[in-house]
Amino acid sequence: MSKKKQLLRPKHVPQRTCFVCREKRDNRLLMRLVRTPEGTVVVDPTVKQHGRGAYLCDQPACWDKVLANGRLLNQALKTTVSEADLAAIAAQRPAVSKQAEPHE
């Protein structure tokens, strides 16, 4: 007897909550921002970096809010993000959302 049946079930996609719009989304539609042990804040595409993390969805509007107001990020990560870090994060801002559904 094998337990292969279990593998046929739909794969569970972990959900994460965007710290700006508070909407739950599939893991892969969010970017992880992490406060590194060195105190910098970086985008973590591998989602494996150590440190306190916060998830930001791929809606440009959410990124704009964060980039316009670093305090959002400071609160989420309990840190003070530097201008340089914010500029580096800005460079990763998605131009369009991968999601097809309109957002209201």
Scored b (16 or more CB within 10 A) or e, 50-59 reads ebebbbbbbb
Among 32-40, 60-68, 71-79, 90-98, which window interacts with Zn ion (CB under 5 A)? 60-68
**Binder to Zn ion among 20, 29, 33, 72 (CB under 5 A)?**
20
Q: What are phi and psi of 11, to 5 degrees?
A: -70, 130
Establish if 62 lies at the interface with Zn ion (CB under 5 A): yes
Establish if 67 lies at the interface with Zn ion (CB under 5 A): no
What element of type H or E holds 56?
Answer: strand 52-57
- Which residues bind to Zn ion, rule: CB under 5 A? 18, 20-21, 57, 62
